[in-house]
């Protein structure tokens, strides 16, 4: 066993930079798994600063001076930040409360629908099965009020923390943009002067992460806005809440669209029943998903690394399990990072062969 470990060490960790990279990866995983929640505002600020910096670079390429590009981009960011905070979130909150208050009525409608099934389909549904199902639902509803109160009281510290984040995030984003050069110089001062492996991985990840983060934000905005406008035009209730859920569902590839279909279909069913309006909502929702998967995603992520669907699902499950929503959002970039590290990691035989070719050429 020791001999196997020694051969593995000599093959993959024979360079100082390889050991450093392994230490950085392990340290990052430990930090994310242990204090990821504490670092959430900093990580969120880094992502937002990265997105805003892309706008600054675009404005500079159009001929604007850096200070003016920074001013325009940061002003637009603050406007969008407070528009979401003071406009969208209160609307979604009101619609969420309205939906919760209507759950008992929806349950009554569902009970009436279920009680008809034994008469129409006696070979499939029995009255005993329906009674047992209704009894279970009633038992869950009986404890729902107490659970809501308990969760609300337990979340009060979380609400206070969220208020602190609302103040901290714009400040951190401002200084990350303003002092980007100094911060980058300070971080790289802890790394070796010669770091070809880290530079190669960073160059690949910089392109992939920028494409993914900016593309994903654009996809969320377009899909969410299209869903909200469509649901509002069709007269569907809770259009803002459902539109936001549909937009956020693109964060979880493959799984998100399937999960959000349930609330969209449920709200339409309880609002109209099995009428043409219900089928119109499902048809429009299906068209949005088709356009997102076949037009929008290829257009926004044309330069993204091609990952197998199984690899994406495994990454979502793994990183989502150790880091919650942030892990789900960054599952694809983190999977891409792992792929880049595996491809770029030096192996002794590869380095030896490269050196032999160099010596022969000389």
Report the percent of the chain where pLDDT is more than 70: 73
pLDDT of residue 303: 52
Would the pLDDT of 355 be above 70? no
pLDDT of residue 304: 53
150 and 241 share one domain: no
Residues 218-253 as b or e (16 or more Cβ within 10 Å = b): ebbebbbebbbebbeebebbbbbbbbbbbbbbbbbb
Q: What whole-number distance in Å separates Cα of residue 55 and Cα of residue 214? A: 10
pLDDT tens digits along 204-213? 677 777 777 7
Higher model confidence: residue 265 or residue 135? 265
Q: How many domains does the chain have?
A: 2
Would the pLDDT of 149 be above 70? no
30 and 77 share one domain: yes
156 and 233 share one domain: no
Give the residue ranges of DSSP H helices in 121-249: 127-142, 144-154, 156-178, 180-188, 196-234, 239-249
Residue 111: inside a domain: no
Q: What whole-number distance in Å separates Cα of residue 235 and Cα of residue 230? A: 9
Containing 261, the helix (H) or strand (E) segment is helix 255-272
Residue 254: inside a domain: yes
22 and 95 share one domain: yes
Where on the phi/psi map is residue 184: left (φ > 0), alpha (ψ -120 to 50), or beta?
alpha
Higher model confidence: residue 50 or residue 326? 50
pLDDT of residue 154: 46
* Count of all residues that appear for the chain in the document: 362
pLDDT of residue 157: 46
Q: What whole-number distance in Å separates Cα of residue 343 and Cα of residue 201? A: 9
Q: Count Cβ atoms below 10 Å from residue 62 Cβ, excluding itself.
A: 8
Residue 131: inside a domain: no
Q: Which domain holds residue 284?
A: 197-346
Residue 351: inside a domain: no
pLDDT tens digits along 21-61? 777 778 877 777 777 667 777 877 887 888 888 888 888 88
Residue 255 makes CB contacts below 8 A (sequence gap 6+) with: 313, 316
Q: How confident is the model at residue 91 (pLDDT cuts 50, 70, 90)?
A: confident
Average pLDDT rounded to a whole number, residues 318-337: 74
Q: Which of 128, 154, 181 is the last residue of a domain?
A: 181
Choice among 169-173, 199-203, 298-302 with the minimum mean pLDDT: 298-302
Choice among 41-55, 122-136, 153-167, 248-262 with the minimum mean pLDDT: 153-167
Q: What whole-number distance in Å separates Cα of residue 39 and Cα of residue 67? A: 29
Would the pLDDT of 215 be above 50? yes
Q: How confident is the model at residue 8 (pLDDT cuts 50, 70, 90)?
A: low
206 and 68 share one domain: no
230 and 168 share one domain: no
Residue 233: inside a domain: yes
203 and 340 share one domain: yes
What is the DSSP code string of 82-96?
HHIIIIIHHHHHHHH
Would the pLDDT of 351 be above 50? no
Higher model confidence: residue 204 or residue 283? 283
Residue 118 to residues 124, 126, 127, 266, 273: CA-CA distances in angstroms? 8, 5, 6, 21, 19
Average pLDDT rounded to a whole number, residues 288-293: 87
Residue 359: inside a domain: no
157 and 238 share one domain: no
| Cα–Cα nearest to 130, from 114, 119, 146, 113 | 114
pLDDT tens digits along 246-255? 988 887 776 7
Residue 271 makes CB contacts below 8 A (sequence gap 6+) with: 236, 237, 277, 278
Residue 133: inside a domain: no
Nearest 5°: CA angle at 59, between 207 and 220? 55
Would the pLDDT of 63 be above 80? yes
Q: Count Cβ atoms below 10 Å from residue 267 Cβ, excluding itself.
A: 22
Average pLDDT rounded to a whole number, residues 158-183: 80
Instruction: Please give the DSSP secondary-structure letter assigned to residue 37.
Output: T
What dihedral angle (degrees, nearest 10) is formed by the CA atoms of 249, 252, 255, 259? -30
327 and 212 share one domain: yes
Would the pLDDT of 347 be above 90? no
Mean pLDDT of the chain: 76
Tell me the torsion sign for CA atoms 33, 38, 42, 48.
Answer: positive
Residue 114 makes CB contacts below 8 A (sequence gap 6+) with: 130, 133, 134
Would you say 316 and 255 are in contact if contact means Cβ atoms under 8 Å apart?
yes
336 and 238 share one domain: yes
Residue 107: inside a domain: no
The radius of gyration computed from the CA coordinates of the chain, to the nearest angstrom, equals 26
pLDDT of residue 151: 47
Which pTM does this prediction carry?
0.70
167 and 202 share one domain: no
229 and 256 share one domain: yes
Nearest 5°: CA angle at 97, between 94 and 99? 110
């Amino acid at each position: 066993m020791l001999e196997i470990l020694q051969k593995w060490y000599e093959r993959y960790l024979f360079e100082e930079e390889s050991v450093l990279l392994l230490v950085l990866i392990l340290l990052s995983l430990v930090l994310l798994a242990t204090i990821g929640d504490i670092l959430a505002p900093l990580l969120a600020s880094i992502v937002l600063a990265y997105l805003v910096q892309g706008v600054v670079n675009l404005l500079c390429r159009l001929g604007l001076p850096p200070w003016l590009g920074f001013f325009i981009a940061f002003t637009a960011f603050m406007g969008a930040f407070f528009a979401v905070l003071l406009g969208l979130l209160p609307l979604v909150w009101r619609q969420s409360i309205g939906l919760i208050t209507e759950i008992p009525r929806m349950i009554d409608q569902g009970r009436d629908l279920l009680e008809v099934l034994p008469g129409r389909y006696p070979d499939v549904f029995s009255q005993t099965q329906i009674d047992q199902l209704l009894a279970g639902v009633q038992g869950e509803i009986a404890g729902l009020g107490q659970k809501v109160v308990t969760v609300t009281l337990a979340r009060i510290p979380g609400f206070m923390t969220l208020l602190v984040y609302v103040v901290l995030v714009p400040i951190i984003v401002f200084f990350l943009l303003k002092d980007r050069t100094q911060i980058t110089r300070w971080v790289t001062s802890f790394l070796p002067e010669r770091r070809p492996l880290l530079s190669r991985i960073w160059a690949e990840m910089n392109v992939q992460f920028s494409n993914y983060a900016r593309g994903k934000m654009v996809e969320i905005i377009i899909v969410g806005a299209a869903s909200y406008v469509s649901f509002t035009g069709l007269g569907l209730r809770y259009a803002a809440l459902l539109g936001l859920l549909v937009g956020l569902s693109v964060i979880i590839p493959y799984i998100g669209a399937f999960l959000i279909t349930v609330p969209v279909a449920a709200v339409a069913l309880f609002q109209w029943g099995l009428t043409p309006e219900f089928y119109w909502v499902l048809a429009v929702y299906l068209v949005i998903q088709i356009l997102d998967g076949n037009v929008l995603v290829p257009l926004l992520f044309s330069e993204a690394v091609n990952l197998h669907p199984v690899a994406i699902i495994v990454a979502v499950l793994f990183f989502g399990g150790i880091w919650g929503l942030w892990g789900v959002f960054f599952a694809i970039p983190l999977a891409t990072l792992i792929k880049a590290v595996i491809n770029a990691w030096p192996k002794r035989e590869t380095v030896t062969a490269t050196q032999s070719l160099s010596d022969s050429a000389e």
